[in-house]
Amino acid sequence: MKNRLEARYLFHVCLLAGALSLTACSYGTNFVIANASDQPVEIRYKIKKPADPVAQSRMPVSPAIKMVSELNQEIPWRELPASRYKFDPDSRMAVVSLMQGEALLVEHLNLVDKSYEAADFPIEEIEITGTYGEIKLQGEQVFKSFVAESKKLSAITYR
């Protein structure tokens, strides 16, 4: 009887341990470009070609902004009016004017404990041009240039 109880207990412990090992924490992460300079900047970013050759290119998320000082606060993103950005589906290029102190939301992903790879990131080029110089990123360099400020926020900051 005792061996049976021990075996049953051991079975339940193993079952629980197995179930816990298969679960992962999922969380939403915003990828933003922040203008921490005192001058406006122009941001150009190119979306990767869709996997389906018939599908039309589209932006991963609608461009939205908030102030850099609001990034770690529960303040909603404000969608940009069409007058503040352009997107050409043929070239897959988005162009946005970003004022000083503003942050631009370029992607939102549900990440599972860092299982996301740079090759899967939907943006293939970023170019930030301002008074203080230019930042050009291509390929895997794009994803790797976002600095994780928290689980919910990764940013490229222009200073």
On whether residue 20 sits in a domain, the answer given is: no
The predicted-structure confidence for 61-78, as pLDDT tens digits, reads as follows 999 999 999 999 999 999
Q: Domains in the chain: how many in total?
A: 1
For range 123-128, the mean pLDDT: 98
The predicted-structure confidence for 4-55, as pLDDT tens digits, reads as follows 555 465 544 444 444 434 444 667 899 999 999 999 999 999 999 988 888 8
Which pLDDT band holds residue 120 (cuts at 50, 70, 90)? confident
On whether residue 18 sits in a domain, the answer given is: no
On whether residue 56 sits in a domain, the answer given is: yes
Predicted local confidence at residue 17, as pLDDT = 43
- Report the alpha-carbon distance of residue 159 to residue 109 in Å, rounded: 25
On whether residue 92 sits in a domain, the answer given is: yes
On whether residue 113 sits in a domain, the answer given is: yes
Three-state SS annotation for the chain:
CHHHHHHHHHHHHHHHHHHHHHCCCEEEEEEEEEECCCCCEEEEEEECCCCCCCCCCCCCCCCEEEEHHHCCCCCCCEECCHHHEEEECCCCEEEEEECCCEEEEEEEEEEECCCCCHHHCCEEEEEEEECCEEEEEECHHHHHHCEEEECCEEEEEEC
On whether residue 6 sits in a domain, the answer given is: no
Predicted local confidence at residue 108, as pLDDT = 92
On whether residue 93 sits in a domain, the answer given is: yes
| Domain boundaries, position 65 | 25-158
For range 110-123, the mean pLDDT: 79
On whether residue 110 sits in a domain, the answer given is: yes
Predicted confidence (pLDDT) at residue 102 exceeds the cutoff of 90: yes
Predicted confidence (pLDDT) at residue 106 exceeds the cutoff of 80: yes
